[in-house]
Amino acid sequence: MATLDSIPTPSCPLVRPTSTVVPPTDMTPSFLIDPKNKSYKHQYANIYFTRLTMLRNAVEKRAKARWDGLQSEPLYVARVLDVVKSQLCWVIGTVYMDMPLKPNVLEDIGRDHSIPAPPPREKFYCDEDSVMLEDESGRIKLVGDRVSKERLVTGVIVAALGMETPIGDFEVVDICTAGLAKFAEDEILGSDAMDVDVDSSSTQDEYVAVISGLSIGSPSPADAQIQMLVEYLTGEVGGPEDQRLASQITRLIIAGNSLSLAEYGEEVEDEKRPRKFGASAQANFSPHPNLALSAHLHDLTSALPVHILPGEDDPSGIILPQQPFPRAMFGKAAAFESFYCESNPAWLRVRCDETESSIPNEGRTSSSQSNHPPVTRSLLVTSGQPVLDMYKYLPTPPSSLVSIAASTLRWRHVAPTAPDTLWCHPYRDRDPFVLRETPDIYLVGGMPQFGTELVGSEDGSGTAGRCCRIVLVPSFSQTGVLVLVNMRTLEVQRVDFGVEGLSAGGGEQQPSGDDGDAMAKG
């Protein structure tokens, strides 16, 4: 029998720092599809066209800066098909990956239906893949080592420097992407973003908690972990230290997959259902998991603001951007003003105001001598489908989920594969997935493992030192991981919830090592 230290009751009750959701800027695209624009009659070509127009200038500017100094004076060719033979030139276009293993709707149609469909592939890539660059005029095949090293996916806008070969391919010397867009929020003045000394500086810092994949209703429930999670977030569990950290969590973001796809006896049904092109199995759910989720959400929302995003497994449309859950789904939790249903990729602007600033939008007063000036952070949250889709395009020893997520920032596009292999709304005159601004925090839910990285711009122009924090949030039901992101320093903490003493159990222990390797080899 272990003797236990008694846990002191805090002398003064812990106070949760507040933060507010700031209305988005004009530059921030909305992922909401209002009924007016809810039309599926448009062709997807429009998206590619808009994307190219939106990103062409950025790519062109950066490519010019990059290749201007070259002695050979490369020629800029406006149209892909106008490349001059045996002369160094560069073109801008949309990458199209011609992959034999990519799901093809025609194959799907022509398939013999008496034979069950093969399971969806984990990866599309193979040796016969070819990379094309296309614009309105046409398509040209990109060849060369540089192309394969760049690890491109369909839909990315790039500039390619090279020369047309006699057989009509384009031998690429260098590739230039759009690079990081300017940051959405102004730089924080007076705060050392790279402060390593966590314990001293973070005692008052606000955190945002992120989870993904509660998977309530799955056959092997993580009820105990979820219970602990809720108690942790409400600040009841653990010792004073834990409670202090928990009290600093100013809001919670649930990045998708709150409900489980798996249902009782659904496997049998699943076998019968023909797999459709690129679609994961449809959500099949009973109201019961939803009640459980609502109850948890109610516990949470009564303690801190909660943002919930639909995810791949959730009862929401499969087409991106997934639209917010109807509030009424969540029973009592919906009664809270501070409960937000977000669209699946979602931009959030959160301001943490430690000081008492009376000016609404000019919170960042540099005159403030406070240790904690108000800070506004922009967050981009997705439930992970775009990254998981791009993951299929790329061999993963060189690439990883984190690097893919980082690439999307450099490509300035959250979901480049969207109309190709990722289902997306047929936008006519805009592409909301284009990043006109770089978020401070980029949260990707629904990942198999935890991962994080700071991404800064390479060519230190203006935004030197500014970094975007990428966090891959693993499925809670699989890993029990809650991620805390410091809103001021962008430093990340990870809190695991487990229900056992040994490391042999259901993946709670050191998931990063084993899983990471597994993923890498996959």
Partner 1 sequence: MTSTRAKDFLTKELFIKKNVVTFRSLSRELGIHVNDAKNELAAYLAETANTDTSSFATYMVSGQIAPLHSNGSLVDEMDVTRDDDDAHQFVMHTKMVLVDCDGLQHAKAQFTRIHSVYIYSLSPSVLRVGASCKGGPNALMFGQDAGLICQPTVSVRNTDTKGNPALNGKIIGEHVKTRKGLSKNVSASSSKTTLDARKPVAPQPSVLPRKLEQTTDKDKQNEVSKDKEHAKPLAATKEQRKPTGKLDWSKGKSKEQETTSGARVKDKAKPQPRQDTKTSSSSAKLVDKPSGNSDVGLQLTKKPISRVPAVEPKRATKRKSPDPSDSDVDVEDKPTPKDRKAMPSAMSNARVKKGVVVSDDEDEEVPRKSHKEITRSTSDSERSLAAMMDIDDDQVVRASRLSSRRPDDVVDDTGDEVDQTDVDALISSLGEEEEEHVKPQAKKRKSRKVVPVGRNGLKKRRVLKSCTTTDAKGYMQTEDYSSYESVSEEEAVPEGAKKRKLRKVVPVGRNGLKKRHVMKNRTITDAKGYTHTEEYSSYESVSENEAVEAAPEDAKKSRGKKKAEPKLKDEAGDKPVQANLKIKETNSLRGTKTKAGRPPKRSGLLNFFGPDKSKK
- Please give the residues from 330 up to 389 whose contact with partner 1 meets the rule CB under 8 A: 334-338, 353, 356-358, 360
> Least separation, in Å, of the C-beta of 16 and partner 1?
4
> Least separation, in Å, of the C-beta of 399 and partner 1?
9
Burial 215-241 (b: 16+ CB within 10 A, else e): bbbbeebbeebbebbbebbbbebbeee
Cα–Cα distance for residue pair 75/65, rounded to 1 Å: 13
- Whether the CA torsion 508, 513, 516, 521 is positive or negative: it is negative
Listing DSSP states for 235-255 in one string gives: T-SS-HHHHHHHHTEEEEEEE
Contact between 98 and partner 1 (CB under 8 A)? no
User: Closest Cα partner for 217 from 284, 141, 267?
Assistant: 284
Binding mask 385-424 for partner 1 (x = CB under 8 A): -------------x-x-xx--x------------------
> Least separation, in Å, of the C-beta of 164 and partner 1?
32
Contact between 210 and partner 1 (CB under 8 A)? no
- Nearer to partner 1 (CB atom), residue 128 or residue 356: 356
Strands 375-382 and 441-447 turn out to be parallel
> Least separation, in Å, of the C-beta of 201 and partner 1?
12
Binding segment toward partner 1, per CB under 8 A, in 130-138, 172-180, 195-203, 377-385: 195-203
- Nearer to partner 1 (CB atom), residue 147 or residue 230: 230
> Least separation, in Å, of the C-beta of 335 and partner 1?
5
Distance of CA 232 to the CA centre of its chain: 25
Binding segment toward partner 1, per CB under 8 A, in 25-33, 47-55, 282-290, 450-458: 450-458
Q: Which positions from 45 through 84 interact with partner 1, judged by CB under 8 A?
A: none
> Least separation, in Å, of the C-beta of 198 and partner 1?
6
Q: Which positions from 261 through 300 interact with partner 1, judged by CB under 8 A?
A: 274, 276, 295, 298-299
Check whether the bond before 326 is cis (ω within 30° of 0): no
Sheet with 481-486, strands from edge to edge, namely 339-341, 306-309, 249-255, 207-211, 481-486
Contact between 464 and partner 1 (CB under 8 A)? no
* Beta strand residue intervals within 55-211, DSSP E: 75-76, 89-98, 130-134, 139-143, 157-164, 170-176, 207-211
Other CB atoms within 10 A of residue 497 CB: 21
Q: Which two tokens stand for residue 439?
A: 């978020």
Q: Which of 215, 383, 421, 449 binds partner 1 (CB under 8 A)?
A: 449
- Nearer to partner 1 (CB atom), residue 74 or residue 213: 213
Residue 214 burial (C-beta neighbours within 10 Å; 0-12, 13-18, 19+): buried
Q: Which positions from 126 through 185 interact with partner 1, judged by CB under 8 A?
A: none
Contact between 319 and partner 1 (CB under 8 A)? no
Contact present, 290 and 259 (Cβ < 8 Å): yes
Binding segment toward partner 1, per CB under 8 A, in 8-16, 94-102, 159-167, 417-425: 8-16
DSSP 259: B
Q: Which positions from 224 through 263 interact with partner 1, judged by CB under 8 A?
A: 224-225, 227-228, 231-232, 234-243, 245-247, 250-251
